[in-house]
Chain A
Amino acid sequence: MNPPIITVDNLGKAYRLGHQEEPYPNFREALVGLAKAPLRRFQQLSGRSSEGLFWALDDVSFEINRGEVVGLIGRNGAGKSTLLKILSRITMPTTGRAVLRGRVASLLEVGTGFHPELSGRENIYLNGSILGMRKAEIDRKFDEIVAFAEVEQFLDTPVKRYSSGMYVRLAFAVAAHLEPEILIVDEVLAVGDAQFQKKCLGKMQEVSSGDGRTVLFVSHNMAAVTELCQRALLFRDGQTVSAGPTAKVVDQYLQNGNTDVAHLYEPEVDPDRDASLISASIQDSCGESVPIVRFGEPWSVVTSWNVRRPSPLASASLRVFDLSGRLILVSNTIGLPKTFFESAGVFDVKCSFPVNVLRPGQYFLTIGLWVRGRGAIDEHERCISFHVSDVPHDPEYVYTAVGDPAAVSPTDWTLVESKTPALTGEC
C-alpha cells in the first residue's frame, strides 16, 4: 500500500492573545520586554505561558491518498484556513507534524503578487513564477493561459486598467495551469462571475480526475464541495469533528452549521391541531433525500401530514425564499381537482417540479397548510434549507450564462410564419 500523499499528525497552531505577539508590536515594547525577559523565562518554566493562548487549530490528524479531492468545510474561524496556511508552509505549526509527499501549489488568493502597473503578459510570468512555475513551463502554457482567461486583446495593457472580471480571470487562469501533485485551494471561487466560476470548477475537476492529482478545497459553497469532492472534513473550533463521504459531512454541516436548517425536517407533532406536518424533505429525481438539487434537473418536496380531523377545504402550500429573503416561488394545491385532507390519517404528499427553474444558490422553504378564509392550520417558516448546484448537469446548459437571471424556464421556440421577401424600407 502506498503511503498517503498527505499525513497530518496532531497538528496545532496557537496564537498568543496577550500583548507579547500582537500584530504590531513596537520597538519600545520590545525593549521593555527584553528587560522583563528573565521573569518571562521563569514564567514559562513554571508553566504559566500557556495562558492566553488561542488554538486556531487544535490537535488535527488525518491522511489523504493520492488522487483524492477533499473538501474542508466549517464556519469562519473553524481552522480551515489556518490548516491550509500550515500545509502551504506560510506559517509554522505550534505542535504536531505534517508530511507532504509531492509538489505542492497553493492558491489562497487569486492574483497573489499581481502588480497593477505591469501588463497582463508580464503578470502572467510574475504570478506563475511566484506560484512555483518554471519560466519554461510558463512559456509552454502561455497561449493556453491567455485563451482560458479570454484577455488576448489586452495582453499588453497594465492590469490596473482591467475590469475586475478580467483581472480575476487572468489570475485564475495562471493558477489553473499549475501542475502540482497537491493543489491547495482556499475560497477563491467566491470572486468572479457565475460563468467563470463554472469554468474554474470544470478546470479543477479536470485537474483532479484527469491526472490523479490531489486537491484540498476549502469552500463555503456546499454545492461546489459536493460537486468536486469525494471526501470532506468538517471543522469546528480548530478541530475536525467529522470526516467521510462528502454528502454525509455536508449534511451534518448544514444541519448544525451556519444555517441551522437541514433538507430534512421533522418537527414535534402538535396533537391538538386538526392537521400537522410530520416531516418534510427535498428529493432528487431518483427519490433520494438530498441537500443539493442539481440545476436544471427535476426535484420534489415530499411532505408527510398527520390529519386528525378531515379538512377538505385545506390546501398545502410551499414557498421558496432565497438567501436575501425574497419570495422566489410559490406552489399550492388550491383549485386542484384532488384534495388531500378529506379523511383522517397519515398522508405523504409529493410536489414535483419537472425541471428546476431556480438559479444556483441557497434557498429556504416554508411549508404550510391553509384553509381559505380561516387562516393557517399549520405553518413552518423556513424549516428546510437546500442548495441548487452551481454546475449544470449538461455543460451546454447555459441559462445562467446570460446575465444571471433570477429564474430560468424551458421554453419552446417555433417558427410561426415566414414572410418572403424581406421587408425593406421602401414600402
Chain B
Amino acid sequence: MTDGIATTDQLAPASDARYSPIDTPASKASSATADLAAEVVIEPKSGWIAVDFRELWNFHELLWFLVWRDVKVRYKQTVLGVAWAVLVPVLSVTIFTVIFGNFAGLKETLPPQLVASYPVYVYAGLLPWLFFSNAISLGGQSLVNQRQLLTKIYFPRLFVPTATVTGGLVDMALSFGVFLVLMAIYGVRPAPMISLLPLLVVLAWAASLGIAYTLSALTVTYRDFRFVIPFMVQAWQFLSPVVYPTNIVPERYQYLYALNPLVGIIEGFRCAIFGMPMPWGLIGVSALSTAVLFVYGLFYFRKTERRFADIA
C-alpha cells in the first residue's frame, strides 16, 4: 500500500460520516451547488421532451458568456471590426435605393412623404430583415460549428442557437445608431409610436429563435441541410416586404401573407418609425405564426437533442 492511498483510506469513512443525503457539508462548494438539483436521474427517454426551465435558469450565466463570446469573436480578427455592423446595412440601403428606387418603379406605390425619405424607408425594413437573415443562417449552423462542445461537455444545448441569435441583437443595436443618423439627415422626426419598436424586436427575436432551433437541429442531423439554408434565406427575402411595400400584395391575401412573421414585423417597423397607424391585424397574425414557429422549433430541438452528441 502506498502512502497516498493510506491517507485517502483514512479519510473516506470520516467524510462518510459528514455527509448525509439531506445536509451537505458547509463548504463553499455546496453553497454554490445548493440551488442545483441534488439528484440527477439518467435514463433513456423517447418522444417529446419538455423544456427544463429550471435548468435553463441555473445555467443562465453561461448563455451570457456565449453571447459575449460570439459578439467578441465576430469582430476580433477583422480589419474594420465593429464597423461591419454599420457598413453592411449602409451598403445594402445604397444598393436597394439605387436599384429599386430608380428602376423598379416601386416608388409610385408609396405615399409622397415616404418617397422623399426613401432610404429611411428601406433601412427601416432592412433593420429587422438583416437581423433575421443573419440569425437564421448563423443560428442554423451554430450546432455544427460547436460540435466540439456538444461531444465533450453537458450544458443546455438550446443555448447554442439562442446565443448566436441573441448576439445578432448587438449588431442590430449598432445599425440602429446609424439609422438614427439617417433619420436626422432626411429630417424624419421619430413619432411616439417608435416606443413600440422593442416589442417588434422581441417578435423578430422569437421568430429567429424558432427557425434557428429547427434549422440547427436539422443541420446537425442532415449535414447537407446547410446548403439549403442560403436558398431559404434568399427565397424568404422575396416573400418579405424588404424591398417592396406590403400593399403590392392584394388586399384579400394580406392576412395569408402575414403568416410570414417578417411581414408584420417589417410593416410594424416602418409604421412605428414614420408614425403611421400600426397594422395590428398583420402584426397579430405574424405574432401568432411566430408563436407556432417558436414552440415547434423548441420542441423539435428538444426531441432531437438527445442524439446530437452521437451524430455531431
A residues with a Cβ closer than 8 A to B are: 2-3, 15, 21, 23-28, 30, 65-69, 85-104, 106, 108-109, 112-113, 115, 117-118, 122, 125-126, 129-135, 137, 140, 179-181, 205, 208-209, 211-213, 226-228, 230, 246, 294, 389, 391, 393
How many angstroms from the CA of A137 to the CA of B65 in the assembled complex? 14
Task: Count B-side interface residues using an 8 Å CB cutoff.
Answer: 62
Closest to B306 in A: A92
Contact (Cβ within 8 A) A179 B12: no
Other-chain contact of A69, B8, B14, B223 (Cβ < 8 Å): B8
Using CB atoms and an 8 Å cutoff, list the residues of chain B in contact with chain A.
2-5, 7-9, 11-12, 14-16, 18-21, 24-25, 27-30, 32-33, 36, 38-45, 59, 61-62, 65, 69, 72-73, 76-77, 148-155, 218, 221-225, 228, 306-307, 309-311
Most chain A CB inside 10 Å of its own CB: which residue of B7, B38, B42, B59: B42
Name A117's closest neighbour in chain B (CB-CB). B76
When distances are taken between beta carbons in the complex, the residues of chain A under 8 Å from B24 are: 102, 181
Chain B: minimal CB distance from A42 (Å): 18
CB atoms of A26 and B223 under 8 A apart? yes
> When the two chains form the complex, which single residue of B28, B73, B222, B224 contacts A115, counting CB atoms closer than 8 Å?
B73
- Judging by beta carbons under 8 Å apart, are A113 and B153 in contact? yes
A26-B223, A101-B38 given; A212·B62 CB < 8 A: no
Query: Contact at A99–B39, with CB atoms within 8 Å?
Result: yes
For B72, give its contact among A101, A118, A212 (CB under 8 Å).
A118
* 7 nearest CB pairs, A to B: A212-B15, A179-B29, A103-B33, A67-B15, A27-B222, A89-B154, A98-B42
Pick from B4, B28, B224: contact of A27, CB under 8 Å: B224
Beyond the given A25-B311, A212-B18, please list 9 additional residue pairs across the A-B interface where CB-CB is below 8 A: A67-B16, A89-B42, A90-B152, A91-B306, A104-B40, A129-B61, A181-B29, A211-B15, A212-B12
Whether B309 lies near A90 (C-beta < 8 A) is yes
- How far does the alpha carbon of A212 sit from the alpha carbon of B39 in the complex, in Å? 18
Chain B interface mostly helix, strand, loop or mixed? helix
Cα A103 to Cα B59 with chains together (Å): 13
User: 5 interchain pairs (CB within 8 A)?
Assistant: A67-B19, A87-B42, A92-B42, A96-B44, A113-B153
Bound-complex Cα distance A97 to B150 (A) = 22
Query: Which residue in chain A gives the minimum CB-CB distance to B41?
Result: A99
Contacts of A134 in B (CB 8 A): 32, 61
**Inside 8 A of B221's CB, which chain A residues have their CB?**
25, 30
In the complex, what's the smallest C-beta–C-beta distance from A277 to chain B, in angstroms? 29
- A106 and B311: CB pair below 8 A? no
Q: Cβ of A230 and Cβ of B5 under 8 Å apart?
A: yes
A180-B33 in contact (CB<8A): yes
Given A115-B73, A179-B32, A228-B4, also A92-B44 (CB < 8 A): yes
Contacting pair B4 A227 (CB below 8 A): yes
Q: How far is the CB of A206 from chain B (nearest CB, A)?
A: 11
Which A residues are CB-close (under 8 A) to B7?
Answer: 209
Taking a contact as CB atoms under 8 Å apart, the answer to whether A101 and B21 are in contact is yes
**Pair A23/B21 contact, Cβ less than 8 Å:** no
> Measured between alpha carbons, how far is A265 from B39 in the docked complex, in Å?
47
Complex contact A294–B2 (CB within 8 A): yes
Specify which chain B residues have a CB less than 8 angstroms from the CB of A95 in the assembled complex: 44
A205 is contacted by which of B8, B20, B152, B222 (Cβ under 8 Å)?
B8
**Which A residues touch B29, using CB under 8 A?**
103, 179-181, 211, 213
Verify A21–B11 contact, CB threshold 8 A.
no
Task: Return the contact of B154 from the options A106, A226, A389 (Cβ within 8 A).
Answer: A106
CA distance A89 to B309 in the complex (A): 10
What is the bound-complex CA distance between A26 and B228, given in angstroms?
12
For A98, the closest partner residue in chain B by CB is B42
Tell me whether B306 and A21 are in contact (CB under 8 A): no
Known: A91-B309, A101-B38, A205-B4. A109 touches B152 (CB 8 A): yes
A21 adjacent to B310 (CB under 8 Å): yes
Shortest A288–chain B CB gap in Å is 9
Residues of A with C-beta under 8 A to B307: 21, 92
Q: Which of A104, A129, A230, A294 contacts B62 (CB 8 A)?
A: A129
CA distance A65 to B20 in the complex (A): 11
Cβ–Cβ < 8 Å partners of B32 in chain A: 103, 133-134, 137, 179
**Contact across chains for A30 and B222 when beta carbons are under 8 A apart:** yes
In the complex, which of the residues A93, A126, A230 contacts B8, with contact meaning CB atoms closer than 8 Å?
A230
